[in-house]
Amino acid sequence: MARFRKYIKQSGTKNQKLEKIEEFVYIKFMHARDQLLPVRYCDFKRWGIAQAMNMSFHEFKASDTWVLNLKWKHGICSRKVTKVRVFLEEKQKKIHSDG
């Protein structure tokens, strides 16, 4: 019972906090990709550390392993973007032809 009170006082267990941070970082990643912004390795770390500080989880370290596991868990891989301009032009043509 004392352990349960401790978890409530700390806003959850360490694993629960890590899950919340991962969820936040993944949502930030998806928003950035929806806007066709490049997302770098350091962005994952920066977002994770910022969220951990907001949650007062000062023991969190956005290590290289943490970022790799996050990317693997969500199927994120680094690729060179080459066809963004073509994609945007096609999207604009479709908007103009529909309107």
Determine the pLDDT at residue 94: 72
Closest by CA position to 21, among listed 53, 43, 64, 63: 53
Interhelix angle 41-54/14-34, nearest 10 degrees: 130
**Tokens found for residue 2:** 């004392």
Determine the pLDDT at residue 79: 75
Domain span at residue 64 reads 2-98
Determine the pLDDT at residue 49: 95
User: Rounded to whole angstroms, what are the CA distances from 63 to 31, 44, 67?
Assistant: 23, 10, 6
Q: Mean pLDDT in runs of 10 for the chain (99 residues)?
A: 58 84 95 89 94 91 93 87 64 69
